[in-house]
Structure 1
Amino acid sequence: MGKQRRVKFSMGSHTTNGVLEYIHSDLWGPSPVESHSGCRYYVTFIDDFSRKVWVYFLKAKDEVFGKFKEWKTMVEKRTGKVVKTLRTDNGLEFCNKDFDEFCRKEGIVRHRTVRHTPQQNGVAERMNQTLVQRARCMRIDAGLSKKFWAEAVNTAAYLVNRSPSTAIDFKTPQEVWSGKPSNYSGLKIFGCPAYAHVSDGKLEPRAMKCIFLGYATGVKGYRLWCTEDRTPKFIISRDVTFDESAMFGQRKEFGDLAGTSKTDLGANQKVEFEVDAPMENGVDDTSEEQPVIDQNDSQSIAAHRPRREIRRPMRYVDCVSANITNPVAFALAVAEEIGREEPRSYKEAMEMKPVDCKWLFKIKDGISEDEPPKYKSRLVAKGFSQKEGIDYNEVFSPVVKHKSIRVLLAMVSVFNLELDQLDVKTAFLHGNLEEEIYMKQPEGFVDSEKSDHVCFLKKSLYGLKQSPRQWYKRFDAFMVLMSLCEITKNRAEINKLKQLLSSEFEMKDLGAAKKILGMEIWRDRDAGLFTPLAQHFKFDHSTLPSTDEEVEYMKSVPYSSVVGSLMYAMVCTRPDLAFAVSVVSRFMSNPGKAHWEAVKWIMRYLKGSSSVCLVYGNGDVSSGLVGFTDSDHGGDLMKRRSLTCYIFTLFGCAISWRASLQPTVALSTTEAEYMSLTEGVKEGMWLNGFLGSLGLNLSKPVIYCDSQSALCLAKNPVYHERTKHIDVRLNFIRDVIEEKLFSIEKVATEVNPADMLTKPITTEKFKHSLDLVNVCKV
């Protein structure tokens, strides 16, 4: 009893006669450092007969079951054989109800280890040790950050499969698995400099400098990290020249490759910043990692390790949030902004908790294509730590609508007004704070003699909850004081206004307006001011994802981001996309392949109609404000709700439109049209009031509807049994008609442009509807 010892482990052996007869598997993780794609684990599957290893990277343990099914399907399709036995440990990722039930149905025998006995799963455990050791050596030798452990592990697995193994008589796993000898002609040193061939023009360079980070899967090419573009990215290329004589961490040209200036940082400093960049060829099934660039003054990462002092930069800290290619320019911009705006008075905060702050960096594109990008840096406060009633009270601030801008564009074109654009530099810093707010000293600019002090804010800083409101109040008060409320086209008056604004605020005159909120503007004094979905697309419950494979496929598709981009284009200048975007946006939380096909259809339509835009100034000037409403009864096949659609024109040009589902189910076509007409009247009232505030006196607005029954219901003040269920808020339209604020009239469906917002229509009718609201090609 007192001298009991564990039984000695004997040398295990398996008499497997072919591939997939016996599989070893194990999960490694969690990694102390998260990869760029958020992975902290990887799972390995090892064939006992060939000793070939497959590696899959995971974000969570519960993904093991899905990866096993994916791997099983792949190897069985390739070999024509089936998995017979699986050996794992007793981890819950392998021992759960779903996993056991799947193996039972597939006839897979499970071999598990005894508790606290990992030696019984020695093949998988030793493979994990081999992969991690090799990956660690390659990463350190290449001078890459720890976040690249997944790229290094993936390359290590590739090399293990092509290295001789004593377990299979010094043959390579790839040779035993495929029956063909391994090809070593394409092997290169991990992390070495590489030059990929490009053809950007007759006078442009024919190669760009990259970093070699492994081998692509499914294509005959190399995975490279390119940093010469404005946006660093992964590329896959076969036309590559490698410089294996010098590793990346030992190259003196590091600054040029990373897009940074060559500055002497000292022998005891290390500057490390990380960059996120999109994958050029979509989703990679081996690793989603992106390189981190380490700048070293020495020739080797381990040569002078005892003398190196690793510390953070003094003038920029948070560079992860932007694609930074020139950090020196950022540092200079930071110093310039600090000298101009950083408060220099310090005051002790006795009872109030100071607000924290941080630095933000961004590369801002120029307004025109010829204007170079600008490096922007800004000190912002962490407003989420503010407490209501103590640090702030009111935070409301008006925000401009796109329809307001379109109204101004229509007026500028019709009345031949001037349209100039001004930019307020650091606008929020002009606001005056009404509360007493303290902020911690910004990192990199801490007063060594007063390190326990905090900043007393004199001006509203970016990030504070009240900053937008304080800036609006300051600007509004100045405009009212100077009585700058009249509309004029006198150039001298406009220049005077610019001088007044520049004397009060730090302004930048951008000249004639070219781009507002993402809307590009072209102006032709003679021609005016310029600034879908097929019928077979019908979505119901059958189009939702029905299998796990389809769900996994849709996770790799950028559905939400693409629909969001389409939605912004629709809101700004493309009323022709309103119906299509309304349909595909209903499935943002659970899209299927059919929905993705519809999105690609819309993108193809956009590619073919890139010259279509809003045109102001060519319409009927005498028409004034006109609205069109329509509805599609039960158009939503999921919940049978109807669509509310309207479009308004000013002087014959579109300024406001909408296509959205109604909140309730309409019981008849009349009710659906009536609800749509009500929403149109509400929008018309706001537009009419806005035009009145601009001093534009128009005739009584007219709203057209193609449903005679809805018009009769709106004009009939008597409530009867058939309409008593209609919501009270919808019946305010009757009061509007009685007060003669609007005129509602009947219009034929053929000349109702709102019809294109309700359903897919023929090409001829679609073009005619666009012509009615002055949306055409230029």
Structure 2
Amino acid sequence: MDSPQQSKSNSHDICLIDCGSTHTILQDRKYFVTLTMKNANVNTISGCSNIIKGFAKANIVLQRGTKIVIENALFPSKSQRNLLSFKDIRRNGYHVETIDIDNIEYLYITSIVEGDKCVLEKLPSFSSGLYYSNISSFETYTVINKESTSPKPFYIWHDRLGHPGSNMMRKIIENSFEHSLKTKEILQFKEFSCAACSQGKLITRPSPVKIVTESPLFLERIQGDICGPIHPPCGPFRYFMILIDASNGHILLAQIIKLRAHFPDNAIKTIRLDNAGEFRSQSFINYCMAIGITVEEPVAHVHTQNGLAESFIKRLQLIARPLLMRTKLPVSAWGHAILHATALVRIRPISCNKFSPFLLALGQEPNISHFKIFGCAVYVPIAPPQRSKMGPQRRLGIYVGFNSASIIKYLEPMTGDLFTARFADCHFDEAMFPTLGGESKKLVNDIVWNNSSLTHLDPPTKQRELEIQKIIHLQNIANQLPDAFTDPKRVTKSYIPAANAPIRIEVPKEHISANDSSKPQLKRGRPIGSKDKNPRKRKGAYDQNMEANKEPEKVIVEEIPLEDKEPKKVENDEISMSFTTSGKIWDRKNKWKEAIEVELNSLSKREVFGPIASRVQVVFVRKRNENNEVVRYKARLVAQGFSQRPGIDYMETYSPVVDSITLRYLMSLAVHQSLDMHLMNVVTAYLYGSLDNEIYMKIPEGLKVPEEYRHSQDMCSIRLQKSLYGLKQSGRMWYNRLSQYLLKDGYKNDRICPCVFIKRFVSKFIIIAVYVDDLNIIGSLKEIMETSNYLKKEFEMKDLGKTKFCLGLQIEHLKNGIFIHQSAYTEKILKKFYMDKAHPLSTPMVVRSLDPKKDPFRPHENEEELLGPEVPYLSAIGALMYLAKNTRPDISFSVSLLARFSSSPTRRHWNGVKHVFRYLQGSVDKGLFYANNSGHQLIGYADARYLSDPHKCRSHTGYLFTSGGTAISWRSTKQTIAATSSNHSEIIAIHEASRECVWLRSITQHIQETCGLPSLKKTPTVVYEDNTACIE
């Protein structure tokens, strides 16, 4: 029988199907994934040979859409037809049957689905009896892209919304706005084909039995679960966790406390988690009990009891997989796809309600006008500092989701770095899907090996990447060490840094040429380990053989039997440092080499090491003066203190230092008594402390040992005889050594201020205020010289003369007093935040409105946009708090007010921070002046502002204490309890001020009595308060 199809189809697209063939032969290169060219001999029925030119993996699609993956297909040189073997069909899980219908033979390709046989292909035969089928490649079968030149709106929105079915598409469109689709258009596509959906979705049909579901109240029950490990990792991430509100299906990838803070009127009553070890932390259980949350634990291995969380994880995967299949991103980008799928799930109506979780939780329809196809091309603006007048104004990115309706997230194609951009400034090409790593090897190589090509990247993200890499490195080391306070069966250590999204995903290796392996590579994020060897364990599971996480190419613990070998003496002067110059220190290498030699000489003098030579890590420090100028280069050999175990390697670590309040009081006392202040520094102070524990340290990189030990250098360890920088107890050991030496000579201190040592002479006295290795000596010149000589007998000291710069304070000694300020630090932070040329203002903040809705310092509102990571809000608040704590009480209230919004700052709050900077710009030289013509009486002032925070019904406390008319202690903070009246808030303020007064009186009384000065013991301290009801 002649085949009618033979004339209709190209012979290249017809494939013969034969049961006697041992291999599949395909004559067109388009079917092959990769092709290895190699001649081979194959014998055919006709006796031909030497017809094979290559072989590789191939993918074909039969005429009804059945996909066949052939692992080892052959590529011929002269064959006129394609040939498919029965063996390759069966390897794909299909069955082959021959059926005779009306004396015509057909070949059935079938599959078993839920116990029933399903016919996938019905293939005819030629008159010769050979079966055949029209075939195509995977790419040509993507039906959704048939009209690539002008795709229909249905297909575009199908991609944008995460590949939902037609019914779900109709529900989403009916419950959202700002789109161009109509319900009639969706009804036309009840049956449609999408390659990404076919590849990414595999659904097991549910049981026909329906169970009546409960309807908990809003936020009454939260269910959560963790999915993973997922291979390959997305940067450092191998797991993701979801939290779902059981009442409406609102899903979050966030911490529980944030969910509770979003809706304060609806308290969380129950949280249901599975019995995995990460959810069995006693701290977490205690926290939930403390705030009234009941933790429900299902039976081990009974997934249906936490079915809501399990089903939502599956739902996210069903959305995320087609998103990735549709793009050219690698599988390691699953983290971005999961985050985007979470946003899409929130707008999809749930099974028990026709409305979406977004509408049920927030009460408003979702706006989907900013939705774009995941993985499509986006052209984002280049930042003004990186673009030129005549150069390109936008650069290509890969769209991976959004933070809000106005902020999108995109990947840098060459590096995989994650950035954000303003939606309104971006142009999208939803028909183009860029490849991560570049389209051509030449482009990849140009980008990978040239540092200058990355100059357009935003600096804040680079800094954040370095911080995350540092955290991951420390976590790797910490996970390799034993922990004295954890149970390995119940605690799972995480490699995940403090971020909720992957900052960088790895560029696939196949995009990088192997010929350039010798060139220096840029630093890239890499997955932590290649395989999760410690899967999640559930409570009740029988598995006691738990192993610690292991990573290849890393040594976890190395035990050396030191007692078996007799240690040999090695002189410390034989140790030398191998110095390599790179990067920032290249131009200062001579100074750094000199600093290293000084440090090594100090170690030799102090006899830090035992009989075995060692090498340690070198930390470089620049010492600056009061004008922020570099005056000295220092090098420190630092031990890995983070690997020490409490109770084994150290017992106590507390080491007292003088605080800023005590130091300001001592300055006031020195001015009143006409005393001098001198500053002395102890050279390598920590090396004087003696260890009370036996500590061994591996020889780190950077030091050379004598020739006889080099062959076994990696097997050697050293025992520390003295404390070393980096050890947890080093500070305490140094303080104990100094304290014993001073107390032996008649100095006295007290537990109230253990860092202040006082010695009384016949008519004079001397005070030493200790801050680690900086000693402030207060007294007459004669006593200061005697004290200096006494200290030099035991320690190597540096006499820095009059105290001009200490604890970040600039100290100026004038004829009529002492003036302390931080003008150099103020100028530094103004330059750091680009406010050094701002117009100065006369007040630290604007006037607040009595109307809470018009208050510029009100909390974040729903329609407001939060500041992104590119705005250094937290860094600015920290810098201002350090300034307000030391010398600028005039900005304390403003900084305290702005610090309330650190978790959710907006543009209004950032304008308030800039207002403070502009005030500092006009008052750089302001500080505290202690005059010598004033008294030495302690006076306090206390006040409160009722309902300073009307949004949370909290008042504000402020108090200040002066000595000699100048402030020495102050505080401005929000009250922790709700005051019922202005009188109540004033009582709280005077109570806090009284507590501070008692502590100040204890310090001043101890110092005055020990020095032989008139004491304030019998003299009351006056605290001024302006509320009559509070006073009476």
Cα distance in 2 for partners of 1:429, 1:672 equals 51
Unpaired runs of 5+ residues, structure 1, are: 33-41, 77-82, 88-122, 153-212, 218-222, 224-230, 232-286, 289-301, 713-778
Match of 1:686 among 999, 1006, 1017: 999
Q: Residue 643 of structure 1 aligns to which amino acid in structure 2?
A: H
2:638 to 366, 380, 383: 380
Counterpart Cα distance in 1 of 2:332 and 2:377: 19
The answer on whether the counterparts of 2:671 and 2:930 sit within 8 Å (CA) in structure 1 is yes
- How much does 1:331 deviate? 3.6
Residue 783 of structure 2 aligns with which residue?
A: 493
2:731 partner amino acid: P
Match for 1:360 among 619, 628, 653?
619
1:222-252 C-alpha deviation (Å, 9 max, x unpaired): x9xxxxxxx9xxxxxxxxxxxxxxxxxxxxx
Matched, 1:467 2:730: yes
Is structure 2 residue 870 aligned with structure 1 residue 550?
no
What residue is the counterpart of 1:614 in the other structure?
A: 928
Report what 1:662 is aligned to: 975
Distance 1:557 1:307, change over 3 A: closer
Contact 1:381 1:461 in 2 (8 A): yes
Listed one character per residue, the Cα deviations across residues 394-422 of structure 1 (whole Å, up to 9, x for unaligned) are 11221321111110111111111101111
Which residue number in structure 1 is paired with residue 1029 of structure 2? 709
Residue aligned with 1:635, SS: strand
Write out aligned runs for 1:202-241 (5 A): 213=455
Asked whether the equivalents of residues 315 and 444 of structure 1 are also in contact (C-alpha less than 8 Å), the reply is: yes
> What is the one-letter code of the residue matched to 1:662?
Q
Match of 2:914 in 1: 600
1:341 deviates by: 0.8
Cα distance, 1:515–1:57 mapped onto 2, change above 3 Å? farther
1:361/1:377 contact within 8 Å kept: yes
- SS of residue matched to 2:636: strand
1:260-279 matched pairs, under 5 angstroms = none
Contact 1:648–1:657 (CA<8 Å) still a contact in 2?
yes
What is aligned with 1:767? none
Q: Hey, what does 1:624 align to over in structure 2?
A: 937
SS of 2:958 mapped into structure 1: strand
1:317 positional shift: 8.2
What is the Cα deviation at residue 345 of structure 1?
5.0
Q: Kindly provide the amino acid, as one letter, of the partner of residue 795 in structure 2.
A: F
Deviation at 1:547, TM superposition (A): 6.1
SS of equivalent to 2:879:
helix
Percent of residue pairs identical:
28
**Distance between the aligned counterparts of 2:589 and 2:818, measured in 1?**
43
CA distance in 2, matches of 1:546, 1:43: 31
Among 727, 743, 746, which residue is 1:480 paired with?
Answer: 743
Structure 1 residue 576 corresponds to structure 2 residue 904: no
- Which residues of 2 match residues 317-332 of structure 1 at below 5 A? 326-332=588-594
Query: 1:678, CA displacement in angstroms?
Result: 1.4
Aligned to 2:445: 136
Partner of 2:184: none
**Which amino acid counterpart does residue 420 of structure 1 have in structure 2?**
H
RMSD value over aligned CA atoms? 4.5
Q: Determine the C-alpha separation between the residues in 2 that align with 1:463 and 1:347.
A: 21
Match of 2:845 in 1: 533
Any conservation in 2 of the 1:533–1:601 contact (CA below 8 Å)? yes
* Cα distance, 1:133 vs structure 2: 3.4
In 2, distance between residues paired with 1:71 and 1:593?
A: 15
Aligned residue in 2 for 1:67: 409
Task: After superposition, give the CA deviation of every residue in 1:667-718 in whole Å (9 maximum; x if it has no partner).
Answer: 1222211121111111111111111221242333222211222222xxxxxx
Change (3 A) 1:387 1:347: farther
Q: Answer yes or no: is 1:639 the counterpart of 2:952.
A: yes
Task: Name the amino acid aligned to 1:129.
Answer: G
Q: What per-residue deviation string (whole Å, max 9, x for no partner) do you get for residues 616-651 of structure 1?
A: 016631x61111111112211231112221100112
Query: Partner residue of 1:524?
Result: 814
SS at match of 1:129: coil
8 A Cα contact 1:357 1:381, kept in partner: yes
Q: Is the 8 A contact 1:421 1:511 kept in 2?
A: yes
Instruction: Map residues 153-168 of structure 1 onto 2, 5 A cutoff.
Output: none
Q: How many aligned residue pairs are there? A: 496
C-alpha displacement of 1:12: 8.5
For 1:117, the equivalent position in structure 2 comes to none
Tell me the CA shift for residue 510 of structure 1. 0.8
Q: Please give the alpha-carbon distance, in whole angstroms, between the structure 2 residues aligned to 1:606 and 1:554.
A: 25
Match of 1:505 in 2: 795
Change (3 A) 1:428 1:691: same
Q: Which residue of 2 aligns with 1:401?
A: 659
C-alpha change, 1:410 and 1:127, in structure 2 (3 Å) is closer
Kept in 1, the 8 Å contact 2:622–2:633? The answer is: yes
Structure 2, unmatched stretches of 5+, are: 1-16, 19-23, 25-58, 62-135, 161-325, 334-373, 380-392, 411-419, 464-502, 505-514, 522-575, 748-758, 767-778, 822-843
Distance, in Å, in 2 between the alignment partners of 1:316 and 1:71 is 46
Q: 1:534 is aligned with what amino acid?
A: V
Q: Which amino acid aligns with 2:601?
A: G
Deviation at 1:5, TM superposition (A): 3.8
Question: Following the alignment from structure 2 to structure 1, what is the Cα–Cα distance between the partners of residues 520 and 927?
Answer: 62
Q: TM-score, normalised by structure 1?
A: 0.56
- Which residue type is aligned with residue 698 of structure 2? K
Judged with a 3 Å threshold, the aligned counterparts in structure 2 of structure 1 residues 314 and 496 are, in CA distance, closer, same or farther, namely: closer
Return closer, same or farther for 1:508/1:127 CA change in 2, 3 Å cut-off.
closer
Distance across 1 between alignment mates of 2:786 and 2:711: 48
Check 1:677–1:344 CA distance in 2 against 1; reply closer, same or farther (3 A cut): closer
Q: CA deviation at 1:567?
A: 0.4
SS in 2 for 1:388: coil
Q: Cα 1:327–1:587, aligned 2, differ >3 Å: closer, same or farther? A: farther
Taking a change above 3 Å as real, the CA distance of residues 323 and 541 of structure 1, as seen in their structure-2 partners, is farther
C-alpha displacement of 1:30: 8.6
**Gap change, CA 1:124 and 1:529, over 3 Å in 2:** closer
Partners of 1:348 and 1:454 within 8 A in 2: yes
**Change beyond 3 A, Cα 1:536–1:704:** closer
- Amino acid corresponding to residue 45 of structure 1 in structure 2: A
Q: Is 1:318–1:360's contact at 8 Å kept on the other side of the alignment?
A: no
SS of equivalent to 2:703: coil
1:425 — aligned with what? 683
C-alpha distance 506-648 of structure 1, shift in aligned 2 (>3 A): same
SS in 1 for 2:430: strand
CA distance in 2, matches of 1:43, 1:469: 55
Structure 2 partner of 1:45: 377
Larger Rg: 2
